[in-house]
Amino acid sequence: MDSLQSIKQRFGIIGNNLGLNRALEKSLRVSNTDISVLVIGESGVGKESIPKIIHQYSHRKHNKYIAVNCGAIPEGTIDSELFGHEKGAFTGATQTRGGYFEVADGGTIFLDEVGELPLQTQVRLLRVLESGEFIKVGSSKVQKTNVRIVAATNVNIIDAIDKGKFREDLYYRLSTVDIALPPLRERKEDIVLLFRKFASDFAQKYHMPPIQLDENARELLADYRWSGNIRQLRNVAEQISVLEKERKINAARIRSYLPNRESQLPALVNRKSSESDFASEREILYKVLFDMKSDLNDLKKVTLDLIKNSSESEIAEKNQNLIEKIYGKESYDQEKTNIDPVSLDSDLPDISKTKSEDKYDYVETIEEEEPLSLHEKELEMIKQALLRCKGKRKLAAKELGISERTLYRKIKQFDLNDIES
């Protein structure tokens, strides 16, 4: 069997990280078997190299090797792509077609991003793993296949199982052997080596001298997080090779090509604190509303007492003072409130009759029966005011302490238009 170094040269793998070497050793050990393998790693770490190594060092190396990106195939056609379909199975199926499992019989299939497979397709795949059997879309005939399956994913399969997005039994069938590739940030010793390899390749491709890094630039590359891993490092190397005129690059120039993601990190929100603040605001709102209810009941009681116990002039004066106290003198003078102090009791909503089942309904309401003679007293007061003012409604309204518009309404209500001066 070839050494690790020869395998790296053959498949273009660069680096001496222990995690990387361990993944390559496991690949070689399982290559001569037919057990299924699950390659785990973040996006951009080079997971596609592992199934190629397994296939090339297996007894299937002379048969087909097919790589399928499960996340790139629409959900409606994934079953047809993998297992084939019969003519007329669906709209557009003008002829019978063999799927990847039929075409790759005797070889190896690499299912990249297997965590993106729909649940229905996962059931079909589980049957292939357990018995080597599958059925084409639109067919009832069971077919056999002999394929080696190597799968890869960058998602946390355990979390996907908990969320019901991935079958647990399929996971255990795929992961007979797990091969984990470390992210680039855990391979600091390999970052500069990879950059130099990419810079050399792009210099050859674009016919220009290769990029050279000073010490500070190399340290910056090694300390950067590289969330996109090898793919991101390769893109940065290509950008610098094409855009920079100077071939000697310092840390400042490197930094301009590295995105600063610190300001883009999502803020952590304390959900419990937010819920607590909302509950506190709700309690305050309830208290304000019930305080208003209590104030309105008090206002109603005061108005009734004024009507019962005061003379006409005292009623007008006290009602004006009360309204000015509640609404402000300016609002009263400009007649913005349009409140009729005499009929205040009849205009106010009877909040005391409102039932509340809320836990804050601790306000003691005042039940007050309306006097039977209130209507007559109000009518008599308006008549007397009109007689004293000789039918001049503006003066009568001023004497009563109400707006002229309210007096017009009362005259119409009580049919007092015949009172003459």
Residues 222, 257 within the same domain = yes
* Together in a domain, 170 and 189: no
Residue recorded with tokens 């009602």 = 319
In a domain, 391, yes or no: yes
Looking at residue 211, what DSSP letter applies? P
Which residue did the predictor score with more confidence, 23 or 335? Answer: 23
Residue 8 banded pLDDT, cuts 50, 70, 90: very high
Q: How confident is the model at residue 408 (pLDDT cuts 50, 70, 90)?
A: confident
Same domain, 399 and 332: yes
Looking at 95-104, 231-240, 277-286, which range is the least confident one?
277-286
421 within some domain: no
Q: Which of 46-50, 306-310, 350-354 has the lowest mean pLDDT?
A: 350-354
301 within domain boundaries:
yes
Domain of 132 in residue numbering reads as 4-182
Average the pLDDT over 60-69 and give the result: 96
> Based on the domain organization, do 178 and 200 belong to the same domain?
no
For the question of whether the overall pTM of this predicted structure is more than 0.85, the answer is no
What is the per-residue pLDDT across 136-146, written as a single tens digit (0 to 9) for each?
Answer: 999 999 999 99
Write down the pLDDT at residue 259: 86
Residue corresponding to tokens 């091969």? 179
Is residue 118 classed exposed, middle or buried when 0-12, 13-18 and 19+ CB atoms within 10 A define those classes? middle
Residue 25's closest CA among 9, 12, 8?
A: 8
Residue 274 has pLDDT above 60, yes or no: no
330 has pLDDT over 70: no
Query: Which of 156, 182, 208 delimits the end of a domain?
Result: 182
Q: Of 301 and 364, which is predicted with more confidence?
A: 301
Is beta strand 37-40 parallel, antiparallel or unpaired with respect to 142-144? unpaired
pLDDT the model gives residue 292: 79
Query: Are 20 and 93 part of one and the same domain?
Result: yes
Of residues 392 and 59, more confidence is placed in 59
Percent of the chain whose predicted confidence (pLDDT) is above 70:
76
User: Is position 313 within any domain?
Assistant: yes
Q: 239 with 377, same domain?
A: no
Is residue 87 included in any domain, yes or no? yes
Chosen domain end from 182, 216, 231: 182
Q: What is the pLDDT of residue 116?
A: 94
At 278, list the tokens: 């909302």
Q: Give residue 262's pLDDT band: very low, low, confident or very high (50, 70, 90).
A: very low
CA 318 to CA 4: how far, in whole Å?
Answer: 102
pLDDT score for 26: 96
Which is more confident, 264 or 125? 125
The Cα-based distances of 168 to 30, 70, 153, 180, 196 in angstroms read 23, 18, 15, 19, 42
pLDDT 10s digits, 152-179: 999 999 999 999 999 999 999 999 999 9
Residue 405 pLDDT: 83
144 and 10 share a domain? yes
Q: Considering its fold, how many domains does the chain have in total?
A: 3
- Judged against a pLDDT cut of 70, whether residue 381 lies above it is answered with yes
Residue 53 and residue 75 share a domain: yes
Residue 67 has pLDDT above 70, yes or no: yes
Same domain, 237 and 359: no
More confident residue, 145 or 350: 145
Q: Cα(304)–Cα(132) distance, rounded to whole angstroms?
A: 92
218 belongs to a structural domain: yes
Q: What is the pLDDT of residue 3?
A: 84
On whether both 173 and 238 belong to a single domain, the answer is no
Q: Strands 108-112 and 142-144: what pairing?
A: unpaired
Residue 278, in any domain of the structure:
yes
Q: Both 304 and 233 in a single domain?
A: no
- Distance set, CA 408 to CA 269, 347, 376, 377, 389 (Å): 60, 16, 18, 18, 15
The reply to whether 84 falls in a domain is yes
**pLDDT at residue 189 is higher than 70:** yes
Alpha helices in 3-46 (DSSP H): 4-11, 18-31
pLDDT in the model for residue 317: 67
The answer to whether residues 32 and 74 belong to one domain is yes
Out of 148, 182, 216, a domain closes at: 182
Q: Please report, for the domain that includes residue 90, its CATH number.
A: 3.40.50.300
**In this structure, what are the phi and psi dihedrals at residue 151, rounded to the nearest 5 degrees?**
-115, 160
